Each structure stands twice: as C-alpha cells, then as structure tokens.
Amino acid sequence: MTDLPAQKVDLKSILSTSARVDNSEGMSYLQSVPRRIVTLYLPLSIIVVILLFPFYWMALTAIKPDEQLLDLEKFNPFWTWSPTFKHIHKLLFESYYPHWLWNTMYVAIGATVLSIIASVLAAYAIVRLRYKGANLVGGLIFLAYLVPPSILFIPLATVVFQYGLFDSPLALILTYPTILIPFSTWLLMGYFKTIPFELEECALIDGASRWQILIKIVLPLAVPGLISAFIFCFTLCWNEFIYALTFLQSTPNKTVPVAIVNEFVDGDIYRWGSLMAGALCGSLPLVILYAFFVEHYVSAMTGAVKE
C-alpha cells in the first residue's frame, strides 16, 4: 500500500516528460532547411508576391514613358530602363489631384467620426442597458449592413437633392454613415461584451452615472475596438465609388476614386501613367494607416468574432 503514492507520482512525471518530448519533437521538423523552405518560406514568398505585385505594377506604370506603355512587345512590360516622372508631375501640378485628396480626407474623417459616435452609443445601449428586445435590435442592426449600398443610393439621391446638398462633400458625410454604422455597431458590441461588467457595477455603486462609466471606463478599455472600427469606416469611405459618383458632379468637388477615372479617361483613351500614379498615391494613406494600427485591428476583430 505504501508504494501506490510513489507509483502515482512516477506516472505523472512520466506523462509530463513524454508530453514535453512530444512538443519538442513536434517543432523539431522545422529545424531542417528543406522542410522549413517548403512549409514556411515558399508559401510566405508566394503570398508576398501576390499581395505586392499590384503596387509594383502601379509604381512601374507611373514611371514608364508613354511609348513603353503602348508597345509591350518591343519593351519589357515588367521593367523600364528610362523612368520618367512626367505622369506624376502632371498628376500633382496639372490637375486637381491635391484638392481631390483633401476632399477624400475631409469626407472620410467626417463620416467616420459621425459613425463612430453613433456606433458607440448604440453598441453600449444594446450590450449594457438590459432592456427587452436588445438582442433583436442588435441582430436587426447587423442585418441592415447586409443591404447593398447600390439599392439605397437612388432614394438617398432624391433626399440629398431636396435638401440642397447635391454636388457637395457634405452629402457624402451625411450619407456614408448609413452603410458604416451597422457594421461598426456590431463590431463594438462584440468588443464591449469582453469588458467585465463588474467594473461598471463597482462604478455604479460609487455613484458614477452611465455617461461617466462610458467615457472614463468603457472607452479607455475599448481603444483597440475603436481603432478597428475607425479603420473599417475610414477605408470604406476612402474607396467608396457609387455615392461619390452620384452626388458629386463638378471636377473640384470630386473624390480620388471617382476623379481619377473620370478625368484621366477620354473616351476610349486611357492615360495609364496618370491613372496608375493617382491610384498609387491614393492608396498610400491607407497603407500607412494599416501599418501603424494593424495589431489593434486584428485583436478587435478577433474579440468581435468570438462573441
């Protein structure tokens, strides 16, 4: 009878030792160079090439002379030995492109701020203010995100025209939240649920109001979720095409996605150099934004999907 505890201890030690051996053996297969190349470096290289090739093609087209753009049989389509900055100079100094960038930034920031404010209030009310039908309201808000924007722009165009906002960036700032708020609310709902409710209960016991709890407790803890919602809204506003094409007509008021298509295409003549230069310069702000905040974006999306 005295040997049983010792046998149990030995059995536990053997199991733990075997588990450690299994883990080490499971990772050791990556130590050989051929396996590491096949399972790690080769797939990563393929993914990087596929993701970066469109940017390389845009940059190459933006610095190619016109004759090399039109004759792909005589010149190498994947390289140029005589780069030119004529297309970029024409884009920046002979068009309204800086003004189009300002319009796009102004519209994107304005619509994003309005959408985030509305989404925060809606998400907090659905998640924390326990009332009957809160889950149904949350589901309906998410279903509203599934409505295609192409269906809504026709009635919205009538409303915008009647209020005298036609051909004004303000029209986009007021209409973009109709497609931004549903998804942002759903995203923030999932993130607010990960915040312990006990923190709010303690604050309520100490006499804090709901507004103070939201401003001083919930929002500081939900910064990754707010950054994620901001990136989503900003990206969608920056790249949106249908509403901008419908509501803006004059050249100085256009945004980048619409302007580069309308102003650098003359019938069946495509000025590819200026088109690619405009697309490349227009994508740089989003690349910088994702480069700085991609970790917060991924963490917030993970928390929302868990819920």
DSSP string over the chain = -THHHHHHHHHHHHHHHHHHHHHHHHHHGGGSHHHHIIIIIHHHHHHHHHHHHHHHHHHHHHHS-HHHHH-TTTS-TT--SS---HHHHHHHHSSSHHHHHHHHHHHHHHHHHHHHHHHHHHHHHHHHS--TTHHHHHHHHHHHHTS-HHHHHHHHHHHHHHTT-TTSHHHHHHHTHHHHHHHHHHHHHHHHTTS-HHHHHHHHHTT--HHHHIIIIIHHHTHHHHHHHHHHHHHHHHH--HHHHHH--SGGG--HHHHHHHHSEETTEE-HHHHHHHHHHHHHHHHHHHHHHHHHHHHHHHHHHH-
Confidence of residue 100 (pLDDT cuts 50, 70, 90): very high
pLDDT digits (tens, 9 = 90+) for 193-223: 888 888 888 888 888 888 888 888 888 888 8
pLDDT at res. 28: 60
pLDDT at res. 102: 94
pLDDT at res. 22: 47
pLDDT at res. 31: 67
pLDDT at res. 32: 73
pLDDT digits (tens, 9 = 90+) for 137-160: 877 887 877 888 778 878 888 888
d(CA 20, CA 225): 37
pLDDT digits (tens, 9 = 90+) for 224-262: 889 888 988 999 999 999 899 889 989 889 999 999 888
Smallest Cα–Cα separation from 171: which of 184, 181, 183, 158? 158
Q: Judge whether 62 and 280 are in contact, CB under 8 Å.
A: yes
The CA–CA distances, whole Å, from 158 to 51, 107, 111, 135, 244 equal: 40, 20, 20, 33, 14
Looking at residue 65, its amino acid is: P
> Is residue 55's pLDDT more than 70?
yes
pLDDT digits (tens, 9 = 90+) for 273-298: 888 988 888 888 888 888 777 766 66
Confidence of residue 30 (pLDDT cuts 50, 70, 90): low
pLDDT at res. 111: 95
Average pLDDT of every residue of the chain? 81
Confidence of residue 7 (pLDDT cuts 50, 70, 90): very low
> Is residue 11's pLDDT more than 70?
no
pLDDT digits (tens, 9 = 90+) for 162-174: 888 888 999 999 9
> Is residue 13's pLDDT more than 70?
no
> Is residue 187's pLDDT more than 60?
yes
Looking at residue 129, its amino acid is: L
Fold category of 89-306 in CATH: MetI-like fold (1.10.3720)
Tokens standing for residue 268: 């069946």
d(CA 278, CA 97): 8
From 49-53, 109-113, 116-120, 153-157, the region with the lowest mean pLDDT: 153-157
Smallest Cα–Cα separation from 221: which of 115, 296, 291? 296
Confidence of residue 21 (pLDDT cuts 50, 70, 90): very low
> Is residue 72's pLDDT more than 80?
no
d(CA 150, CA 147): 9
